[in-house]
Structure 1
Amino acid sequence: MVSTGTEMKDPENYHKDSFVQLHNPNVATMKEDILYHFGLSTGTHDFPAMFGDVKFVCVGGTPSRMKTFSRYLAVELGLAQAGIEYSNICEATDRYAMFKVGPVLCVSHGMGIPSIAIMLHELIKLLYHARCSGITIIRIGTSGGIGLEPGSVVITQQAVDAYFKPEFEQVVLGKRVVRSTELDEQLVQELVKCSGDLNEFPVVVGNTMCTLDFYEGQGRLDGALCGYTEKEKQEYLNAAYMAGVRNIEMESSVFAAMCRVCGLRAAVVCVTLLNRLKGDQISSPHEVLTEYQQRPQRLVAYFIKKSLGMS
């Protein structure tokens, strides 16, 4: 086993003026860095001019969700103008979408660990090339709750794997690399304080279990494959609850691990669409789900406004 815990920055030493750092000496020797999945390149785009003022990055699953969030954020920050639409910076590719609203970058990441990992590699390099400093990055999304009513918002304390361990494991050159998935505790508390200010919907702090799959990996009974019983499923989900897990999704572990290694202050804020102890399928009406999905956005937007001295 290879552990890279020694290369992680101590979150307590995070400083608002610190520049984004990479843990790859090869990038500094490259004449041009092509961010292929963004459709951007240091040879054709002026990253400091385009992104140098970014202080907050919000990432979420789909392009449409992030476009909607960018519109909402523009209104909240007083940057919306009649007839002006924030364009997709990654329009040269159909892989991800990116919108910039003042000091906030909104980026889609797709579904699952591989998709968000690819996005994060290029996003972190983008921030590095732009000479950004004091970055706060937050994943906003949806999840399945454990022991929570639908519509509850979970602020992640730790991202854990399917064994309930706060670590992300990856195979690199045939060797196991294990990284910590602990998130910034101070940022968690700042978000909790903001939720209290809003007092609009239930918010809890808990562990988030990150899985490699939506069906078997999360113990669902309604997939194409299922080799376990309802009783076994309930035993596992209850064990997760006893381990502090309050929701399940598919991106938080690699998100937490990569941000921690690169010294980025990071948080995960997800709404629950159902209580997995009571079922597997999401059956709430579309308008209800839409309102649920807006809850993490409202909390994070308020946090950004407060951080900017606007609330």
Structure 2
Amino acid sequence: MASPGAETKKPGNHNDFVQLCNPHVAAMKEDVLYHFSLSTGTHDFPTMFGDVKFVCVGGSPSRMKAFSKYVAVELGLDHPGADYPNICEGTDRYAIYKVGPVLLVSHGMGIPSIAIMLHELIKLLYHARCSGVTLIRIGTSGGIGLEPGSVVITRQVMDACFKQEFEQIVLGKRVVRNTHLDERLVQELVRCSTDLGDFPTVVGNTMCTLDFYEGQGRLDGALCSYSEKDKQEYLRAAYEAGIRNIEMESSVFAAICNACGLRAAVVCVTLLNRLEGDQISSPHEVLAEYQKRPQRLVAHFIKKCLAAA
């Protein structure tokens, strides 16, 4: 049975302490964040993470490590002797880096991987008594009708049927949560992009799929039961629905953050225009530069927020 907006609450004042939509956690004697190799029984979460105000999540551990170094430089924290190790080095599932009030976390690829990470990340923020936290997913994507290298700030996340929702089966029942993102945060990021002014940035809807190949209408997977014409019709319909890029994590990211009252944003760079092909063909050095664009935008946003605080 469908439950539109089930277990979803409106984001409150973003200066509030991080809250959970789970009454059971408060009664637990110890909470083991297994995939982070952290536990409330062995780690002092308020001391370790209590000052966190910004959380940036992205797929690749190495990319988040590089981003942590960039953030340290941008915030003036890259002084001699500064060390920002992987906090959850006891596991190979995810990586966590902390630079001042910024937490940088890898989430792997696809909805299941980021969903597991988000449950434990938000519990970490809750146990640490963090307040006023902003979460931003940064990453790569396939563009629709955009030049490669364009940065998309997501207005709404849509599924593969162009619906603004995330569906999950809970205890055998269909639960639907909305995928709304914070419009004010979108506009703040747009202004930061204008400040930088050195790469194309658009605001558009993002389609989140369960798969990289058939789920995104590619013709180059091991399976394909449709034609080039079918693919083009689908992608053009997506464009008409306001969709400007496709990736595989944003729907559950938006749904969980929204349910927990956390303001959140998605900022991804496009690596190709899917209307013109399915395979990424740009040289490695070009792709490496593209991947830095969301990092530069979000780092500028964080720096600007801290300067105004």
- Measured against the shorter chain, the TM-score band is over 0.9
The CA distance in 2 between the partners of 1:147 and 1:130, in whole Å, is: 43
196, 199, 203: which is aligned to 2:197?
199
Instruction: Using the aligned pairs only, state the percent identity.
Output: 80
Q: Which amino acid aligns with 2:146?
A: L
CA distances 1:235-267 after superposition (whole Å, capped 9, x unpaired): 000000000000000000000000000000000
The CA distance in 1 between the partners of 2:9 and 2:288, in whole Å, is: 37
**2:281 counterpart residue number:** 283
**2:45 counterpart residue number:** 47
The CA distance in 1 between the partners of 2:261 and 2:14, in whole Å, is: 11
Q: Which amino acid aligns with 1:222?
A: D
The CA distance in 1 between the partners of 2:148 and 2:81, in whole Å, is: 36
**1:261 counterpart residue number:** 259
Q: 1:310 Cα shift?
A: 6.8
The CA distance in 1 between the partners of 2:216 and 2:70, in whole Å, is: 32
Q: Please state if 1:19 is matched with 2:20.
A: no
After superposition, where does 1:1-311 map in structure 2 within 5 Å? 1-3=1-3, 5=5, 7-11=7-11, 14-309=12-307
- Aligned to 1:28, what secondary structure does the other structure show? helix
Q: 1:10 Cα shift?
A: 2.2
Question: Cα RMSD between the aligned structures?
Answer: 1.2
CA distances 1:160-201 after superposition (whole Å, capped 9, x unpaired): 000000000000111000000010000000000110111010
The CA distance in 1 between the partners of 2:25 and 2:118, in whole Å, is: 15
Give the number of aligned pairs: 309
The CA distance in 1 between the partners of 2:300 and 2:223, in whole Å, is: 42
Q: Which amino acid aligns with 1:195?
A: S
Q: 1:17 Cα shift?
A: 2.1
Q: TM-score, normalised by structure 1?
A: 0.97
Q: 1:83 Cα shift?
A: 4.9
- Aligned to 1:188, what secondary structure does the other structure show? helix
The CA distance in 2 between the partners of 1:85 and 1:228, in whole Å, is: 51
- Aligned to 1:290, what secondary structure does the other structure show? helix
Q: Which amino acid aligns with 2:278?
A: D
In structure 2, stretches of 5+ residues that fail to align are: none
Q: 1:2 Cα shift?
A: 3.8
In structure 1, stretches of 5+ residues that fail to align are: none
